[in-house]
Chains A and B, each alone.
Chain A
Amino acid sequence: MPVLTNSIGTYEFLEIQGAPHLRQEQLELIERAGVDGSGVRKLGARGKPFQIRTINYETDFAAAKSKMDNYKALVGADPVELIRQDETEGTFLVLGVIEEQRYAIMNAVGGLVGGEECCHIVNWTMLG
């Protein structure tokens, strides 16, 4: 199986865990105690804030730190495209990025991935 693209904006990742909350019609339930049945009212299509987790390998910790700075710049920037497994999910606002972990992946034998020494895990809060 070929390597599939996972990206947020221009940044690619090995994996994106979690799924976006896609824009969809919001409905208000119209109900009243003692009255049978329900109605709904359309409030407009919009998403809700959701969280995804990205995993990527970086050449070293400095590169991971640099990437993190780049990710932070997306907070407050225009919406960016989210691609999961080569499929675009649409554009999303980045509401926040929090680094979960960065750790060494080199052992005595060598790296799991050639030339990369750091695993970088980041939590993203986004809005569709």
Chain B
Amino acid sequence: MPPTIITDPAETVSEFPLATIETKDSLEDEEWTATTYLWVNKLTRAVNAYDEAEIERYIGDLVQPGTDFYAAYPPLDLLGKFVRITIPQTSPLTDIVWVGYIIGTAHERAAVKDAPGPTKVLTGRNQVLTAVGLEYFLDRVQIDSAYIYETTKINRSIPFNGGRGVALDPDTRTRANRSAATNADGVYTFVPNDETGQLWKLGNIVNYLLQYFTTRNKAGDVAPVTYVLDAQDQLDAVLDGVAPTLDVDALTVFQVLNKLLSPQRGFVWWAEWFENELGYKVNIRVETLATSAITLPSTGTIPANRDQQSLDFDGERDVENVITAEVGSRIYHQIICRGARMTSTCTLGNVDSETITELIHDWADTPVDMQAGYNHAAADTTGYDALAEDEQAKRNDAFREAETWYRVYTAFRVSPDWDGKSGDGKAATRDWTFPQLSATGTIEGSLVFNVNGLRLLNHTRLKRGWNYADTASIVETTPAETEAEYMPLFAIMQVATGTSDKYQFVEKMNEHDFVEGDLVSAKISTSYSVRTQQNVPGVLVTGHGSQHACALNHWSGAEPTANDPQVDYETLRVTATLEADTYCEARYPEDADLPASVPLQKLLLYVGDEYRLDFLAANTVVDLNNGDLVTTNGGLLRDDRKHLQDVARAAYEWYKLDRRPIKVTFRQLRNLWRLGMLITTIGSGSVQTNVNTVASMITYDCQRGTTLVETHDSALDITKVA
């Protein structure tokens, strides 16, 4: 633990430390040049922001303080120069040394006075220079490329832990894309195609960015300074517990650091100048906001802040004022974390069954019977009766192409009366599709749902080509070096009957010889496309050519067609993934552990779709084998509820503490305060107050001789951490 800070200088008479200012054209220059008649107004050091110094100078014809003669002092041309500010300290404190870059100058330009001769004399008053910390240069280059192990550069960026595709992969199991080893530059890069990806940890990302995406000179050398993650921070593995997913395209390193090491993720960062006889560099320092280590769902941790201080300056006279702000308590009694909507993959069929209500046809019967109208077609048109049958068929088929009829023999939906159970879409045992699951995955009942609120996803949660017959031993068929695709929702219809019922995927309808069974019609040649309905839980099964190709057994009395029905839509079975009216969810503490007799304050966090609860209902049709159904024994495809409970617990560790931002002004300019310092309490005894916030800004007012220390509160956004 760092030594306790005693703010009282314990001296009755103290010296006013006079800040000195030196400049350099380039950091490579041998010496700093002392610059007189400049003074520092304020030097502000900050986390997650530019440090800033305001430097001022009297200009014009004047007697400068400390001199006894009049002279002309024109504005100085210091724009683009480096500046070193030193605030001297008495032992044992070390001098405050800050190096920045002058990016702005402004002066009050008064009248120009005509002096004797050709020279004009400026009679301005003040020149104000603005210098920023060297983190400024981290904000001057955007990330437009990526390095693949070892040092192959491609001209697009790759999202960290975003998988191998161009887009972010929300599946936490496949997002790792870091190389297994460091390269000759000592940093990890992106994984090559022939290796298994590793997860990027925060520290890996920072080192990679500082190696390849800082400013350089024309020759390609790092300029003006090298940035490195501080050695002690690396040693303490402060950043090794978090593996974030982030797309950095077109961002600067500064922006990325502010995203990755943000208070919302539990971190702060800042830049520190380091210089000795061997050289100079800028250390990127990091610290956490946590009073104690927070264990993360990824099994990593956010370590406790290493610079925690309990301060008691209430009896010290050099404190100008102390402001503790109540910004509304952030304490919550329970954290509820929600991931994606729970899904269930199931097969629904039994179209228009009177005994098992699953799918129903979705075209109107009243007030207009659309099916009758479609079948009747052009029979009432002029001259129809005089046409030959083949001519009538042509006229009817043209009539049936109208969008008016697009739903007939095409649209199907989950019945509003569905009981919530599913099987194989026909006669197999049916069980709850959206079960109430115990912690171990056993079915305890049904979740409540509203049919019209359900949605069928375009893709199931089944990996395409895998065998799910036995969920205890799923057979994976995806090549090792590629990624599996999700299987689109699919539909099957019966094509053979008799000795054996045979089915085909509706997109692959053909007259297969299944050896067994009799084809349901002489000609089976029309295939169908399947897509979800936009606004109800249902599908559109659209026949290529004539949509009545699936109207077998429903065509009695219909007007002629050139394409007779081939299969019966009542044999349709659809395997799809439905989103439930509930989420993958966990809470901490459990309801039973909540305090009694207090108004409970609960925080609901939506942590993203990568946390999932995907259920596969028993007897769902997952494939066809020679026309026979392949069904599954069902089970959980993915259950992140424990993971989510870890997230909730991690968030609770943050939100259970009272946190207050404070502002303290000391009438001294002593090097006592450190950015990233976590102030736990102020005061003592009965007036001790919890603070638990991190020093995020230190302002040295070099004219008033005061130091303002500010801590900031921030809501931890656990969704950015986990």
B50-64: contact bitstring with A at CB < 8 Å (1 yes, 0 no)? 000000000000010
Q: Is B464 an interface residue (CB 8 A)?
A: no
Choose from A32, A43, A78, A91 the contact partner of B317 (Cβ within 8 Å): A32
Q: Write the nearest CB–CB distance from A41 to chain B, whole angstroms.
A: 5
**Are A78's CB and B70's CB within 8 A?**
yes
Report chain A residues within 8 Å CB of B69.
Answer: 78-79
Report chain B residues within 8 Å CB of A44.
Answer: 16
A60-105 contacts to B (CB < 8 Å): 76-79, 91, 93
A101 and B318 CA atoms in complex are apart in Å by: 50
A38-56: contact bitstring with B at CB < 8 Å (1 yes, 0 no)? 1111111010000000000
Q: Write the nearest CB–CB distance from A98 to chain B, whole angstroms.
A: 21
Report chain B residues within 8 Å CB of A38.
Answer: 12, 317
A76 and B71 CA atoms in complex are apart in Å by: 10
Q: With CB as the reference atom, state the residue of chain B lying closest to A77.
A: B70
Main secondary structure of the interface of A (DSSP, over half): strand
Report chain B residues within 8 Å CB of A78.
Answer: 63, 68-70
Report chain B residues within 8 Å CB of A93.
Answer: 63, 68
**Are A31's CB and B317's CB within 8 A?**
yes
Q: With CB as the reference atom, state the residue of chain B lying closest to A76.
A: B70
Report chain B residues within 8 Å CB of A35.
Answer: 315-317
A124 and B316 CA atoms in complex are apart in Å by: 44
Q: With CB as the reference atom, state the residue of chain B lying closest to A44.
A: B16
B317-332: contact bitstring with A at CB < 8 Å (1 yes, 0 no)? 1111000000000000
Q: With CB as the reference atom, state the residue of chain A lying closest to B704.
A: A28
Report chain A residues within 8 Å CB of B16.
Answer: 28, 41-44
Report chain B residues within 8 Å CB of A43.
Answer: 16, 705
Contact A41/B705 with A77-B70, A78-B69 known, Cβ cut-off 8 Å: yes
A39 and B12 CA atoms in complex are apart in Å by: 5
Q: Is B13 an interface residue (CB 8 A)?
A: yes
Q: With CB as the reference atom, state the residue of chain B lying closest to A93.
A: B63
Q: Write the nearest CB–CB distance from A81 to chain B, whole angstroms.
A: 11
Report chain B residues within 8 Å CB of A41.
Answer: 13-16, 667, 705
Contact A28/B68 with A39-B12, A39-B14, A39-B318 known, Cβ cut-off 8 Å: no
A98 and B718 CA atoms in complex are apart in Å by: 72
A44 and B13 CA atoms in complex are apart in Å by: 13
Choose from A32, A39, A42, A46 the contact partner of B15 (Cβ within 8 Å): A42
**Are A39's CB and B70's CB within 8 A?**
no
Q: Is A37 an interface residue (CB 8 A)?
A: yes
Name, among B68, B317, B705, the residue most crowded by chain A CB atoms within 10 Å (CB to CB). Answer: B317
**Are B68's CB and A39's CB within 8 A?**
no
B1-35 contacts to A (CB < 8 Å): 9, 11-16
Q: Write the nearest CB–CB distance from A126 to chain B, whole angstroms.
A: 13
A38 and B14 CA atoms in complex are apart in Å by: 12
Q: Is A108 an interface residue (CB 8 A)?
A: no
Q: Is A30 an interface residue (CB 8 A)?
A: yes
**Are A79's CB and B705's CB within 8 A?**
no
**Are B317's CB and A37's CB within 8 A?**
yes
Q: With CB as the reference atom, state the residue of chain A lying closest to B71.
A: A78
Number of A interface residues, CB 8 Å?
A: 20
A10-36: contact bitstring with B at CB < 8 Å (1 yes, 0 no)? 000000000000000000101110010
**Are B317's CB and A42's CB within 8 A?**
no
Chain A-chain B contacts (Cβ-Cβ < 8 Å), number: 55
**Are A28's CB and B13's CB within 8 A?**
no
Report chain A residues within 8 Å CB of B705.
Answer: 28, 41, 43
Q: Write the nearest CB–CB distance from B683 to chain A, whole angstroms.
A: 13
A41 and B669 CA atoms in complex are apart in Å by: 11
**Are B316's CB and A39's CB within 8 A?**
no
B245-288: contact bitstring with A at CB < 8 Å (1 yes, 0 no)? 00000000000000000000000000000000000000000000
Report chain A residues within 8 Å CB of B315.
Answer: 35
Q: With CB as the reference atom, state the residue of chain A lying closest to B669.
A: A41
Q: With CB as the reference atom, state the residue of chain B lying closest to A39.
A: B12
Q: Write the nearest CB–CB distance from B67 to chain A, whole angstroms.
A: 10
Choose from A32, A42, A76, A77 the contact partner of B318 (Cβ within 8 Å): A32
Report chain B residues within 8 Å CB of A37.
Answer: 317
A43 and B68 CA atoms in complex are apart in Å by: 19
Contact A30/B318 with A41-B13, A42-B16 known, Cβ cut-off 8 Å: yes
Q: With CB as the reference atom, state the residue of chain B lying closest to A127.
A: B63
Report chain B residues within 8 Å CB of A79.
Answer: 63, 68-69
Report chain B residues within 8 Å CB of A28.
Answer: 16, 667, 705
A44 and B319 CA atoms in complex are apart in Å by: 22
**Are A39's CB and B11's CB within 8 A?**
yes
A127 and B68 CA atoms in complex are apart in Å by: 11
Report chain B residues within 8 Å CB of A32.
Answer: 316-320
Report chain B residues within 8 Å CB of A40.
Answer: 12-14
Report chain B residues within 8 Å CB of A77.
Answer: 70
Report chain A residues within 8 Å CB of B9.
Answer: 39
Q: With CB as the reference atom, state the residue of chain A lying closest to B316.
A: A35
**Are B317's CB and A39's CB within 8 A?**
yes
Q: With CB as the reference atom, state the residue of chain B lying closest to A26.
A: B16
A35 and B8 CA atoms in complex are apart in Å by: 12
Report chain A residues within 8 Å CB of B317.
Answer: 30-32, 35, 37-39
Q: With CB as the reference atom, state the residue of chain B lying closest to A91.
A: B68
A113 and B70 CA atoms in complex are apart in Å by: 39
B297-340 contacts to A (CB < 8 Å): 315-320
Q: Write the nearest CB–CB distance from B392 to chain A, whole angstroms.
A: 105
Q: Write the nearest CB–CB distance from B113 to chain A, whole angstroms.
A: 12
Q: Write the nearest CB–CB distance from B18 to chain A, whole angstroms.
A: 8
Report chain A residues within 8 Å CB of B13.
Answer: 39-42
Name, among A32, A38, A40, A46, the residue most crowded by chain B CB atoms within 10 Å (CB to CB). Answer: A32
Report chain B residues within 8 Å CB of A30.
Answer: 14, 317-318, 667
A38 and B318 CA atoms in complex are apart in Å by: 9
A42 and B18 CA atoms in complex are apart in Å by: 11
Q: With CB as the reference atom, state the residue of chain B lying closest to A41.
A: B14
A91 and B63 CA atoms in complex are apart in Å by: 13
Report chain B residues within 8 Å CB of A42.
Answer: 13-16
A40 and B317 CA atoms in complex are apart in Å by: 11
Q: With CB as the reference atom, state the residue of chain B lying closest to A33.
A: B317
A99 and B11 CA atoms in complex are apart in Å by: 48
A39 and B16 CA atoms in complex are apart in Å by: 13
A31 and B667 CA atoms in complex are apart in Å by: 10
Q: With CB as the reference atom, state the residue of chain B lying closest to A38.
A: B317
A114 and B9 CA atoms in complex are apart in Å by: 66
A32 and B319 CA atoms in complex are apart in Å by: 7
B472-486: contact bitstring with A at CB < 8 Å (1 yes, 0 no)? 000000000000000
A38 and B11 CA atoms in complex are apart in Å by: 10
8 smallest beta-carbon distances between A and B, as pairs = A32-B317, A35-B317, A79-B68, A78-B69, A41-B14, A39-B12, A40-B13, A43-B16
12 A-B Cβ contacts within 8 A?
A: A32-B316, A38-B317, A39-B11, A39-B13, A39-B14, A39-B317, A40-B12, A41-B16, A42-B14, A42-B16, A43-B705, A93-B68
Other contacts beyond A32-B317, A43-B16, A79-B63: 10, CB < 8 A: A32-B316, A37-B317, A38-B317, A39-B9, A39-B13, A40-B13, A41-B16, A42-B13, A42-B14, A93-B63
